[in-house]
Amino acid sequence: MLTADLGPGTWATFTTRAGGLSEDPYASLNLGAGVGDDPAAVARNRGRLAQAADAPVAFIRQVHGSEVFHWDAQAVPPLGEEPVADVVVSTTPGTAVAVLVADCVPVLLAGPGGVAAVHAGRKGVLADVVPTAVAALAEAEVPVTHAAIGPAICGRCYEVPDQLRSQAADQLPELWSTTSWGTPALDLAAGVRAQLGDAGITQIDHHPVCTLEDERFFSYRRSGVCGRFAGVARLS
């Protein structure tokens, strides 16, 4: 796991593939319930994560949108019955929230009295999922002071059609990138950093690890069928 700094009163991490019970092609700490893995293995993997977090962990069913789920000490949604959202927020001490990724950007947010986990893929970034999450915490009277950006496919590897790059960069110029082999690309992490900056957040712990290049992490672009790793934040 990669420790993330979200400031005082929080615990945060980005998991890796290591330390779980799933078998290939999901080996080994697959936390995703909708990718074809054995549900029993996923449940046990999530149990291991809850042990590491020393708290129940709430997951969501992500759809590349910007819906927000507020989770505050309810029962953890059963495996496969997670609420549909791309942001999960908690303002209850002793609870943890998580998002799942395998190339998209996992973003964790925190401020006095609250945390959020954000699934920021291309569609989500363009749908302002990160500003939406910041606003959701503000509505809960939690001013965001810290953010963490986890491993994701980098701007040197995320190849896209030229028209898509142009359209995305028209909306968020920081997304514009070029692959290491000279073709159009998007830099999602750069876009997320820009949105965090626009929200006035300067304490950003960025883990600039490319999931396509680093086999410690699941990557859909690299493997097709694969598991999902998580960004997790707990309010102490």
Ranges of H-type helices in 86-187: 122-126, 129-139, 162-171
* Average pLDDT for the chain: 96
- The pLDDT value given to residue 73: 67
The burial of 40, by beta-carbon neighbours within 10 Å (0-12 exposed, 13-18 middle, 19 or more buried), is given as: exposed
Tell the CATH topology of 2-235. Answer: CNF1/YfiH-like putative cysteine hydrolases (3.60.140)
How far apart, in Å, are the Cα atoms of 2 and each of 48, 54, 149, 209, 225?
15, 16, 11, 11, 23
Q: For the residues of 71-112, what is the DSSP string, one character each?
A: -SSSPPPPTT-PPB-SEEEE-STTEEEEEEESSSEEEEEEET
- The pLDDT value given to residue 78: 84
159-217 pLDDT, tens per residue? 999 999 999 999 999 999 999 999 999 999 999 999 999 999 999 999 999 999 999 99
69-90 pLDDT, tens per residue? 999 866 788 888 899 999 999 9
Name the residue ranges covered by the structural domains of the chain: 2-235
Euclidean distance between CA atoms 19 and 48, whole angstroms: 9
Euclidean distance between CA atoms 140 and 220, whole angstroms: 34
